[in-house]
């Protein structure tokens, strides 16, 4: 089946892409929504502009759609991008990296219904510790680009999701109920390397901003 992936550059959308391809489907294109609103209910923002580098190393076309990020209105921009992917690439299904967010999953499903497309959520309701373990075991190199919850702070920016990260996040989950996969918006990620990439991406520049327990790291990659 010809699929378009809603792609943020983070671990979940990249891993959903990996599973979709592994299951024999064709990744016809990626769709990235660049929101001007850092508090968007639907779309990730830290380093979202660097998804084109990921698409390039995957050898997959990407559709970039900008949005003001106004709640609900941003869905019109998403539908526009999905329709464009259907018209240009003949997609039959849309893939998301949704794990727990019923808000996101239900709205993408409604758009797909309107456009007569299937909607796949390969990570839906997956145990989040198992998800992190699978990402590590499948050789994904994932860097933390944003943290937005107590007790996470600037020191977490740039960390790689590995066994040490998994151990630390388990402790924070026990003590503070931090969502282990960041599904509550606690942290954001960017994939530097995975089996889909023809080469590993390298951070050549980073700009850090924030305060207290809300920090973001904008990166430039080569």
- In this structure, the answer to whether residues 111 and 135 fall within a common structural domain is no
Domain encompassing residue 138: 128-221
Kindly state the helix (H) or strand (E) to which residue 3 belongs, with its residue range. strand 2-6
CATH number of residue 158's parent domain: 3.90.1490.10
pLDDT value of residue 189: 95
pLDDT value of residue 44: 62
- In this structure, the answer to whether residues 138 and 185 fall within a common structural domain is yes
pLDDT value of residue 72: 76
pLDDT in tens, 153-181: 999 999 999 999 999 999 999 999 999 99
- In this structure, the answer to whether residues 16 and 116 fall within a common structural domain is yes
- In this structure, the answer to whether residues 91 and 15 fall within a common structural domain is yes
Q: What is the CA radius of gyration of the chain?
A: 16
pLDDT value of residue 39: 65
- In this structure, the answer to whether residues 41 and 134 fall within a common structural domain is no
| Alpha-carbon separation of residue 87 from 50, 63, 64, 84, 93 (angstroms) | 25, 12, 15, 5, 13
**Residue where a domain terminates, one of 120, 148, 178:** 120
pLDDT value of residue 201: 98
CATH number of residue 100's parent domain: 3.40.50.620
pLDDT value of residue 41: 58
Residue ranges of the chain with pLDDT lower than 70? 38-42, 44-46
């Amino acid at each position: 089946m010809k699929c378009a992936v809603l792609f943020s550059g983070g671990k979940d959308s990249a891993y959903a892409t990996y599973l979709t391809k592994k299951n024999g489907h064709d990744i016809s294109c990626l769709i990235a929504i660049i929101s001007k609103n850092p508090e968007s209910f639907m779309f990730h923002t830290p380093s979202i502009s660097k998804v084109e580098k990921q698409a390039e190393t995957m050898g997959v076309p990407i559709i970039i759609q900008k949005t003001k990020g106004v709640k609900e209105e941003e869905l019109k921009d998403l539908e526009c991008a999905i329709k464009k992917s259907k018209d240009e690439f003949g997609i039959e299904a849309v893939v998301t990296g949704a794990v727990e967010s019923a808000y996101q999953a239900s709205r993408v499903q409604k758009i797909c219904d309107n456009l007569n497309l299937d909607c796949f959520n390969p990570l839906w309701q997956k145990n989040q510790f198992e998800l992190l373990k699978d990402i590590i075991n499948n050789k994904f190199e994932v860097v933390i680009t944003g943290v937005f919850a107590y007790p996470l702070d600037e020191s977490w920016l740039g960390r790689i999701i590995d066994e040490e990260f998994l151990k630390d996040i388990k402790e924070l989950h026990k003590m503070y109920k931090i969502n282990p996969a960041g599904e509550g918006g606690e942290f954001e990620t960017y994939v530097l390397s995975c089996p889909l990439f023809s080469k590993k991406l390298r951070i050549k520049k980073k700009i850090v901003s924030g305060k207290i327990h809300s920090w973001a790291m904008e990166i430039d990659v080569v």
